[in-house]
Amino acid sequence: MADQLLSAVSDYASIPEGYVRPESQRPRLNEVIRGANIPTVDLGSEDEPQIIAQVADACRSFGFFQVVNHGVPLESMQKMMAVASEFFRLPPEEKAKHYSDDPAKKMRLSTSFNIKKETVRNWRDYLRLHCYPLEEFVPGWPSNPASFRDVVSTYCREVRRLGFRLLRAISLSLELEEGYMAKVLGEQEQHMAVNYYPKCPEPELTYGLQAHTDPNALTILLQDPNVAGLQVLKDGKWIAVNPQPDALVINIGDQLQALSNGRYRSVWHRAVVNSDRERMSVASFLCPSNSVVISPPEKLVGDGARPVYRTYTYDEYYKKFWTRNLDDDHCLELFES
């Protein structure tokens, strides 16, 4: 099955039929808005009220923002990208040791998104890792490249710290206690997707990953510093998010949309590919514990407001998410009250 990996082939003269989107579903790259003003929050600022206000505005209007001076060392970010690239350059027989198309596996190398369900594939290979607690999962991670476990472990710890800083800011931006989101989400799991998008001979016919929202609480994305590909949906238009030096991209996930009672948006986003250069990205996901009950705080449903979504557990939501196609209507709509 590992021969299905895109990275098993050095170059493609044309795109295989299984990756070609119907005309109505293609990315229409010429219609994408470029050079848009993307929200950027400087977490190194000493003006905390301004940080909180910027986070609130970005979560309401976009559902995502970029952060700079975020505390994750540049060296750690560079090493993470380097070891990820080195992994995908390993010989096919070495990568094949980690291949699986079982979404339930906690460490697996796979392709597209969920090939058991898809009718059209995405132009992507990815390595999926569970990352918390590290001592439980690291022994099962790839040991080649030799530095992989050490580099990725270090990056995971730093990103987790940043995630909890952001959850504090998001709590305060909703006028909740600073520890509210971290507490209600439980002892959060942490997952990682290391994404590899090869050069594509016909990028206008396919996606690296089609439009979707993230089912978790918060996503922290490390972009390839030299190759653009991330796009977000705003007011019905796709906007290119070009890499910003030393920045990380923050996505609000479905669970924060539900916990904010719909005040904050889980952003629709997609990855596109190009014919000139391969692209890498590393997405880190903070996820509620499976048993956590998702329900908005009383403060956000008072004064005549009603809960937008019914109460549910994250386990219920996540299972429903994986029974659907990635680009189906928003999964949260199935949980509306």
Q: Are the CB atoms for 334 and 121 separated by under 8 Å? A: no
- Residue 312 and residue 328: Cα distance in Å, rounded? 20
CA gyration radius for the chain?
19
Predicted model pTM: 0.96
Six token digits for residue 198:
């090869």
- Look over the chain and give the mean of its residue pLDDT values, rounded to a whole number: 95
Six token digits for residue 230:
């991330």
Is it the case that residue 324 has pLDDT exceeding 70? yes
- Residue 234 and residue 38: Cα distance in Å, rounded? 11
Q: Are the CB atoms for 281 and 224 separated by under 8 Å? A: yes
55: nearest Cα among 153, 172, 212: 172
Q: Are strands 218-223 and 209-212 parallel, antiparallel or unpaired?
A: unpaired
For residue 2, name the pLDDT band (cuts at 50, 70, 90): low
Average pLDDT of span 189-210: 97
Q: Are the CB atoms for 221 and 232 separated by under 8 Å? A: no
Q: Are the CB atoms for 201 and 275 separated by under 8 Å? A: yes
Is it the case that residue 155 has pLDDT exceeding 70? yes
In 209-272, alpha helices (H): 254-259
Beta strands in the chain (DSSP E): 40-42, 64-68, 107-111, 125-130, 189-197, 209-212, 218-223, 230-234, 237-240, 248-252, 269-271, 279-287, 293-294, 312-313
- Residue 230 and residue 175: Cα distance in Å, rounded? 31
Average pLDDT of span 193-220: 97
Backbone angles phi, psi at 206, to 5 degrees: -150, 180
- Residue 215 and residue 80: Cα distance in Å, rounded? 24
Q: Which residue has the higher pLDDT, 132 or 118?
A: 132
Q: Which residue has the higher pLDDT, 83 or 101?
A: 83
How confident is the model at residue 302, as a pLDDT? Answer: 75
SS3 (DSSP) at 329: coil
Q: Which residue has the higher pLDDT, 326 or 138?
A: 138
Amino acid (1-letter code) at residue 45: S
